[in-house]
Amino acid sequence: MAQKPSIPKGTRDFSPAEVSKRNYIISIMRSHFEKYGYQPIETPSFENSDTLMGKYGEEGDRLIFKILNSGDFLDKVTAEELQTINYKKLTGKISEKALRYDLTVPFARYVVQHQSEIEFPFKRYQIQPVWRADRPQKGRFREFYQCDADVVGSTSLWQEVELVQLYDSVFADLGLNGVTIKINNRKVLSGIAEVIGASDKLIDFTVALDKLDKIGEEGVKKEMLEKGISEAALIKVQPLFNFTGTIQEKLEKLSGLLATSEEGKKGIEELRFICDNVTKLGLQKAHLDLDVTLARGLNYYTGAIFEVTAPEGVAMGSIGGGGRYDDLTGIFGLKNMSGVGISFGLDRIYLVLEELDLFPKTVTTATKVLFLNFGESQEFEAMKAVTTLRNHNIKAEMYPDAVKIDKQFKHAERRGIPFVVKEIANGIFTLKDIIGGEQLQLDYSQLAQKLQ
């Protein structure tokens, strides 16, 4: 007996209706990306391992899908190495490529590799799948799409202001009201680590702090202690766990907390510039908030960091995020090339729109009219009409086989096709509205007008 087919955990098949809904989201994103001046690029689904490894922190490295070398992948491994099974040393010898973990590091590689062809500042958008060996759960998959917009070659904080506006305009167009765009600054986090005496534990500190909404205050403190951050430091950091008020009030509190840190004060001024100008320019639907616990545990962020959360009441993790990276291209040999970018989580946005019933009803309607097949007497006239309608951008088709009419009707109903042409006689089409039940007799021009 043949084995029942399956797909790997954390991956999905998409039905025609689901693909139509995903394309709807992508088309809105793409239109706003281009309206803001971003240009499209694409990069390979896999990169050389040394391009990716070491760019996402220790946790990120563990989630990178490695690709075994083709042929005899153990060819470079000695018998002694096989017996000792040193994972890190062994991986480098049996796997030289890996599936991309995100779009930002491949983008940095792209910029360095094509720098002589690029006009800076370079604004790019990219909509492609990425892969992470994560534990699958609601809203978290091992294969998923990222939709990124980045500007590289400019240190201007107006780019951050514009990216907040871009988030807002996309979500407003999707009808997703009440999203919160959280903002923080890695310089502020560095300043906090400095004033509590944990500068040498900055990465451990930020990675733990970023988990506050997942494991709670006690969980964060426990992880910090395990990473070697002292009890005295935790006492100093306590105010962060209950940091409330308006953006201005939070900035004032931070100014007091970071009075002795030059790095921290610089981060505060950057936040003030971004938040003040976003407030003056105004947002359509989104809400901007300063979240001092926001860390986004990626090593390459150096300035502003963003995270977008779904409207209140929707149980979903972040639906977007990003930040400023002052020297990401430096790891590939191109120094002092600052950039800033954001990412939209397509799959999570899809789930949020589905939960809130925000997809337009017309999104999944593929074919507008189905011509029933009554056999040779009408087949040619039906195909002639179908061809003409298609030339006028009306989605039309003819049922291919002259089977029972009841079967053809049910086919149209199951596919959600709203109209059928039941009969053609002397240039007159009998059109039936499957949903409303209305039946009309129309000439071709009237038919085309009705279906537009």
Q: Cα-flanking dihedrals φ and ψ of residue 121, to 5°? A: -60, 140
Confidence of residue 282 (pLDDT cuts 50, 70, 90): very high
Mean pLDDT score of the chain:
90
In the numeric block, the tokens 């201007």 are attached to: 156
pLDDT of residue 361: 83
**pLDDT of residue 135 exceeding 70:** yes
Residues 6+ apart with CB under 8 A from 191: 258, 261, 263, 264, 265, 267
Confidence of residue 81 (pLDDT cuts 50, 70, 90): low
**pLDDT of residue 112 exceeding 60:** yes
Q: How far apart are CA 35 and CA 32, in angstroms?
A: 5
pLDDT tens figures, 386-404: 999 999 999 999 999 999 9
Helix (H, G, I), strand (E, B) or coil at 245: coil
Confidence of residue 84 (pLDDT cuts 50, 70, 90): low
pLDDT tens figures, 421-442: 999 999 999 999 998 999 999 9
pLDDT of residue 451: 94
pLDDT of residue 212: 78
The amino acid at 111: V
120-124, 204-208, 329-333: least confident range: 204-208
What one-character-per-residue DSSP string does 44-75 give? -SEEEHHHHTTSSHHHHHHTPPEEPPSS-TTT
Query: For the residues 23-49, what does the mean pLDDT come to?
Result: 97
Structure tokens at 159: 């780019």
Cα distances (Å, whole numbers) of residue 452 to 20, 142, 243, 402, 445: 20, 41, 55, 27, 11
- pTM of the entire predicted model: 0.86
pLDDT of residue 350: 94
In the numeric block, the tokens 């999203």 are attached to: 179
pLDDT of residue 440: 96
Structure tokens at 41: 């690029």
Nearest to 184 by CA among 290, 272, 258: 290
Q: What percent of the chain is predicted at pLDDT more than 70?
A: 93
Q: Which residue has the higher pLDDT, 102 or 138?
A: 102
30-34, 77-81, 228-232: least confident range: 77-81
Q: What percent of the chain is predicted at pLDDT more than 90?
A: 66
What one-character-per-residue DSSP string does 294-355 give? -----TT--SEEEEEEPPTT----EEEEEEEESSGGGGGT--S--EEEEEEEHHHHHHHHHH
